Each structure stands twice: as structure tokens, then as C-alpha cells.
Amino acid sequence: MTKRIAVTKKKSDFNPHAFLSTIGAGRNILSLGKMKTIFSQGDSTDGLYFIQQGKIRLTVVSEGGKEATLGVLGDGDFFGESGLAGQVRRMASAVAMTDCILLHIEKKAMMLAMSLEPKLSALFVKYLLKRNIRYQDDLVDQLFNSSEKRLARILLLMAHFGKEGVSETVIPRLTQETLAEMVGTTRSRVSFFMNRFRKLGFINYDFGENLHVHSSLLNIVLHDDDGTSTDDDGRNSSRRLGKQNLEPPAEPGRRPDKERAKRPLLLAPK
């Protein structure tokens, strides 16, 4: 007698990337134009967003009316997720810097999906950890690096430097006021350093409303604060920089960048 073996069809694996690129219960696609406000500081939280395409800028305004830029996010980034932790009001504003395609996910839909699908939870937690590391790096950058290095680092991060296959790229052109907010310096200093970068061929403005960032800008981040830097082939490039290394006056009440940029010595464990 032949036994019949019942064959059950294996359930298809959950694909978190498909979840974040399609509409469904509690998920809808938003297409927004440049400069469109996505949400404003003080609005009630109504879920989070996933950037399928485009760039957005997060800003916060003090009671005195002073605005600060918290960051610029792009393809594959989440934002507005604070409501998942119980926050009822938006603590920042989000504005589209370019034409954007966003996926809006309601809080209940996201919480349910993460409770049922470990792959989505793992992807989201990994993203949050990477962003937390970025915030720590930003703090170290503010404490120990010169404003020139901080500006170069921000431009490289916006250009996704370090990702495989990326050597130079075009990014939306920010105003010098916005860059100054992100760097933590004055507009005049940003103007000084941007002109230096352009003269050295690290950036290029000849792209309409965009800015072309070359990977060679990494020379600024890597060079010591003694007026020298290192070329890609390891040679000293102080001659190339020449008098361009002269810095603008220090900001009132703050140390000159060359003094500010000294990192504390790390003692080797005994």
C-alpha cells in the first residue's frame, strides 16, 4: 500500500524591501515637489516615513526664532519615527530639498509589521544603530575637528562617499547659511572654505542647482592641522595647498580652529 505524503507549500519569505516600496494596509506613497513641507515642528505624530527617492532636510527652531539644521537624509532613510517611542509632537520640521517619493507608514501598521516580521525589525534596528553612531561621530567632529574638516565631512557624507562604486557625485546645492548651521560656524567661514575647495578642484559649482563633490575632498579630512595634507599617492601636498591654508579670523569668543582641533591623547592600556 502506497502512502500518500502531503506536501505543504512553504510560505514565501517576507521581504522588508518590498514592504517599504509598496502600498498596503496603513502604508501609502506620497509624491512631493521641491521645498514642500512634509511636517512641521509641533505637529502631532502620525507615523513615520521612508525615503524611496529624493532628499529631505530636518530643521528645528528655538523659541527665539533661531533655526538649526539637524541633517539631510536621502534614499533608504527613515525619519519621523519618534512617535514609535511615544512622542506625541514632532520635535523638528521636514522639508523636501528635491522632488521626493516617500512611503508613509502609520504607527500601528509599523508596530504590527515589526512584531510579526523579524526581518523588518532587524532592518529598522540596524538603521537606528547606524544613525546613532552617526550622531556620536557628529559630536566628536564638533568637539575636536576644525570647521574646515567639519564642512568637508558633511559634503562627503551627503555625497555618500565610501559606498561601493562611488568616487564623485552630484548633490543638491545648499545655501551657505544652511551649511553654516550644519557645521556650527559662520556663513563667512563656510564661504571661505567652499571657495578654497573649489580652487583646489575638490568641488564644482557648474551644475545649475547642484554641487559636484569629488572624492579628493577626503584630503581635507585626512590632513593634519599643521598646514599639510596627503595626496592619494601618499605624497605631502603642502606645496599644492600653499597659501590657501591661511584661515579666516576665529569666531568671537572661540578658539582658533588650529587650537580647537587638537584631540586628547589616548593612553595605551597597561
Check whether residue 153 and residue 250 sit in a common domain.
yes
Is 269 inside any structural domain?
no
Nearest of 97, 101, 123 to residue 32 by alpha carbon: 101
CATH code, 67:
2.60.120.10
Nearest of 41, 54, 142, 155 to residue 89 by alpha carbon: 41
List CB contacts of 144: < 8 A, sequence separation 6 or more: 260, 261, 262, 263, 264
Is 135 inside any structural domain?
no
Buried b (16+ CB within 10 A) or exposed e, 49-80: bbbbebbbbbbeeeeeeeeebbbbbbeebbbb
Residue-number span of the structural domain to which 244 is assigned: 145-260
Whole-prediction pTM value? 0.74
CA 192 to chain centre: 23
Check whether residue 38 and residue 106 sit in a common domain.
yes
pLDDT top residue among 180 and 255: 180
% of the chain at pLDDT higher than 70? 75
What DSSP character marks residue 226?
T
Q: How far apart are CA 159 and CA 154, in angstroms?
A: 9
- Owner of C-alpha cell 555618500: 160
Largest interatomic CA distance in the chain: 95
Check whether residue 193 and residue 107 sit in a common domain.
no
pLDDT tens-digit readout, 203-237: 998 767 788 998 899 889 887 654 444 443 334 44
- Out of 79-93, 108-122, 194-208, pick the least confident: 194-208
Check whether residue 101 and residue 173 sit in a common domain.
no
**Into how many domains does the chain fold?**
2
Q: How far apart are CA 68 and CA 59, in angstroms?
A: 6
* Cell output for 133: 553612531
Q: Among 120, 137, 161, identify where a domain stops.
A: 120
> Above 50 in pLDDT, residue 9?
no
- Owner of C-alpha cell 569668543: 253
Is 6 inside any structural domain?
no
Question: Phi and psi at residue 58, in whole multiples of 5°?
Answer: -100, 130
Q: What is the mean pLDDT of residues 116-130?
A: 95
- Out of 86-100, 127-141, 144-158, 200-214, pick the least confident: 200-214
Provide the mean pLDDT of the chain: 81
Q: How far apart are CA 126 and CA 138, in angstroms?
A: 18
For residue 174, the SS3 value is coil
pLDDT tens-digit readout, 34-55: 999 999 999 999 999 999 999 9
Check whether residue 162 and residue 255 sit in a common domain.
yes
Q: How far apart are CA 49 and CA 30, in angstroms?
A: 10
Give the strand order in the sheet containing 78-79: 27-32, 100-105, 48-53, 78-79
Q: What is the mean pLDDT of residues 10-29?
A: 85
